[in-house]
Structure 1
Amino acid sequence: METADPPRPAAAGPDPGTPGVRHRRAAGPRPRGTLRRAGRLTLPYLLIAPTVLALAAVLGYPLVDLVLLSFQDMTRKQLFSGTSPPWAGLGQYRTILSDGFFWNVVGRTALFTVVCVAATMALAMLVALLMRRVAPWVRMTMVGVLVAVWAMPIMVAASIFRWLSDADYGVVNWLLGLLPGLDFSKHNWFADPWEGFAVIACVVVWGAVPFAAVTLQAALSQVPPELEEAALVDGARGPQLFRHVTFPVIKPAFVLVTSLSAIWDFGVFNQIWLMRGGQPEKEYYLLGVYSFIESFAVNRYSTGAAIAVITVLLLLGGAVVYVRQILTMGEAE
């Protein structure tokens, strides 16, 4: 009787613990999850790289040249001959910072910015709350009107407000003259800088409200209705409901729009230049106008550059405050 051959044992593979196997594992392909994680980390930087490079090319060189010019003493002689201007060091900054008129312009600019930003945010919030209450077709109509106002060129808006406040044919003087006891015939709104800046502030706010209102309305649409309903059940009404329920949700958007409005209003130039016909008086100087006049009207190019550098530093200080607020709100959430 033949007996079957016993089954051969399966060939045993090498011990995983041997050094050779460990070496082959280390040299093998990286796990797919690691590659995906590395891609997620580098993708945001790759996406913003074109924008950063474009900004560096467009803004980097002029900013560096501006800073260098502020440390020199450029005159028309060097400008027309093409020779290098003499080095002045901190002389331009000493002259500016020791000038009382410069600090008057800084205070005027800060006050103008605060008034314009406060008026812009107050009106924009009211418009946004109104858009939340009206019917959808009315809301779309309001959005269209706001976008049209925002798209209006500054030159057109300034021309309209100059006509409205004209001393001879202005609609504002005519309407105020209809009120009993008031005589605004031939009233010049720009004879008094306070009244003139009130008109200029109206131009600035007119152009800034649409963007702020549309942004705040978009933020209000993200407020959960159940939160407000629960607050109403608990007895919250009107200002209490807005302060404790609605505003905390839209606070990041509110801070963003406020900061952007402050940066834009701090550097206002076009509105003042156009409203004063290209010849603003010293009482209407803000930092942007002051820098331009010193550079291209008085031909003190380095002085104007130094004023512009100080303006940029003040704006950077405001930007730092804005970034810190955003980071603080992000940590709180």
Structure 2
Amino acid sequence: MSAADTTTAKVPPTRPSTAPESAPRGSGPGAPGRTRPGGGAGAPWLLLAPCLIVLVLVLGYPLVRLVTLSFQKFGQPQLWGFQDPESVGLANFTKILGDAEFWAVVLRTVVFAGGAVILTMVLGMLIALLLQRVSGWVKALVNVALIASWGMPIVVATAIFKWLFDSDYGVLNWLLSRLPGVDMVGHNWFASGPQGLAVIMLLVVWGAVPFVVITLSAGLTQVPKELEEAARLDGAGAWGVFRYVTLPILKPVIVMLTTLSVIWDMGVFPQVFVMRNGHPEAEFQLLTTYSYDKAFVVNDYGGGSAIALVTVLLLLGVVAVYMRQMLKIGEVE
């Protein structure tokens, strides 16, 4: 054996690799072009189909019928089938838009809804901030009370408020009369429209505050404590921390709650209807009750439908403003 043979390194035989071969490119579960089982662009619409069908049946037909009636002369003769509905074009809209009473109702509705929304949002924010600074059992007790008031039927809540503000047996008059120099015995809160609507506004706010408090409380849990602490170290007070840290983070929630509150408060009907025993006086009329009276009291279904359609268009304007604000917030983020 030569020296070259003894110095040559012996290479061990190569074993077959047991490692799995790399998957071909583009064959992973998240690779584009790969079809997931049960997927497809039509799957979301298939899942939404039952809900959309219900919405079309529940809301679609009444809305179409409302639009149709607003362009027709439709009264009791047409309702009972003695006469056929007569198309009058824009006559119903021309009539209500030229009526000073209609614009008074619109102004009253806007003022009522605006006051209720502002009061609801302010009280809701204050209570939500307060709940962040109380002990656990107090917070639980307040939440139980909020849920109970939120779940109370509107008719029951209205009956309670009627008793609270009753001129003869009302608790509020009794409490106020115990103050020095105040005599509210026998005071009728519904003798004038502004006072009566203020009572109804308190009823609406009382029913709306729980939802706002619960939603804002959930939003406040998402505010980073580090940002608040940094703002305090920079010299910001309680108002500065709320204005420059808490409020910007809660802005999407506040915009959503404000929009929903405007829609709900402009559509208030049972509170006014029940509080005035089914016959709201002229100074208590809002757009919803005014449309109801025109349709079912005066039997002018075409005019009532036109008022209701104008109300729907006003609410769609509120929704458009909401969508614009949400798009702006999305672009900033």
TM-score (norm 2): 0.88
Classify the secondary structure of the residue corresponding to 2:232.
Answer: helix
Residues 172-207 of structure 1, C-alpha deviation per residue, up to 9 Å, x if partnerless?
A: 111111111111111100111111111000100000
1:136 to partner: Cα distance: 2.3
Q: Distance in 2 between matches of 1:99 and 1:323?
A: 32
Q: Distance in 2 between matches of 1:173 and 1:267?
A: 30
Q: Distance in 1 between matches of 2:219 and 2:40?
A: 28
- The residue number in structure 2 matching 1:270 is 270
Q: Distance in 1 between matches of 2:53 and 2:227?
A: 44
1:82 to partner: Cα distance: 6.5
* 218 and 183 in structure 1: CA distance in 2 versus 1, 3 angstrom threshold: same
Which letter does structure 1 place at the counterpart of 2:283?
Answer: E
* 228 and 66 in structure 1: CA distance in 2 versus 1, 3 angstrom threshold: same
Residues 56-77 of structure 1, C-alpha deviation per residue, up to 9 Å, x if partnerless?
A: 1210011001100010111111
Q: Distance in 2 between matches of 1:138 and 1:48?
A: 41
Classify the secondary structure of the residue corresponding to 1:190.
Answer: coil
- The residue number in structure 2 matching 1:145 is 145
Classify the secondary structure of the residue corresponding to 2:167.
Answer: coil
Moved more, 210-219 or 126-135: 126-135
- The residue number in structure 2 matching 1:33 is 32
TM-score (norm 1): 0.88
Where is the helix percentage greater, Structure 1 or Structure 2?
1
1:185 paired to 2:185: yes
1:42 to partner: Cα distance: 4.8
Q: Distance in 1 between matches of 2:42 and 2:95?
A: 47
Q: Distance in 2 between matches of 1:50 and 1:212?
A: 30
Which letter does structure 2 place at the counterpart of 1:135?
Answer: S
Please provide the CA RMSD for this pair. Answer: 1.7
- The residue number in structure 2 matching 1:171 is 171
* 177 and 106 in structure 1: CA distance in 2 versus 1, 3 angstrom threshold: same
1:39 to partner: Cα distance: 3.6
Q: Distance in 1 between matches of 2:295 and 2:205?
A: 28
Q: Distance in 2 between matches of 1:32 and 1:187?
A: 75
1:235 paired to 2:235: yes
1:138 to partner: Cα distance: 2.1
Residues 252-283 of structure 1, C-alpha deviation per residue, up to 9 Å, x if partnerless?
A: 11110110000000011110011111111000
- The residue number in structure 1 matching 2:75 is 75
* 93 and 157 in structure 1: CA distance in 2 versus 1, 3 angstrom threshold: same
Aligned pair count? 303
Structure 1, unpaired ranges of 5+: 1-30
Which letter does structure 2 place at the counterpart of 1:168?
Answer: D
Q: Distance in 2 between matches of 1:282 and 1:316?
A: 26
* 230 and 172 in structure 1: CA distance in 2 versus 1, 3 angstrom threshold: same
* 258 and 40 in structure 1: CA distance in 2 versus 1, 3 angstrom threshold: farther
Residues 92-112 of structure 1, C-alpha deviation per residue, up to 9 Å, x if partnerless?
A: 000000001100000000000
Q: Distance in 2 between matches of 1:157 and 1:72?
A: 38
Percent of aligned positions with the same letter in both sequences?
A: 52
1:87 paired to 2:87: yes
Moved more, 140-149 or 48-57: 48-57
- The residue number in structure 1 matching 2:62 is 62
Q: Distance in 2 between matches of 1:206 and 1:303?
A: 33
Which letter does structure 2 place at the counterpart of 1:33?
Answer: P
Residues 206-258 of structure 1, C-alpha deviation per residue, up to 9 Å, x if partnerless?
A: 00000011000000011111111111111111110000001111111111011
Classify the secondary structure of the residue corresponding to 2:73.
Answer: coil
1:80 to partner: Cα distance: 1.1
Moved more, 80-89 or 41-50: 41-50
Q: Distance in 1 between matches of 2:127 and 2:42?
A: 41
- The residue number in structure 1 matching 2:102 is 102
TM superposition outliers: structure 1 runs of 4+ over 6 Å: none
- The residue number in structure 1 matching 2:128 is 128
Moved more, 73-82 or 251-260: 73-82
Q: Distance in 2 between matches of 1:288 and 1:262?
A: 14
- The residue number in structure 2 matching 1:246 is 246
Classify the secondary structure of the residue corresponding to 1:133.
Answer: coil
Moved more, 129-138 or 47-56: 47-56
Residues 302-331 of structure 1, C-alpha deviation per residue, up to 9 Å, x if partnerless?
A: 100000000000000000000110111011
Moved more, 45-54 or 305-314: 45-54
Q: Distance in 2 between matches of 1:178 and 1:196?
A: 22
* 65 and 136 in structure 1: CA distance in 2 versus 1, 3 angstrom threshold: same
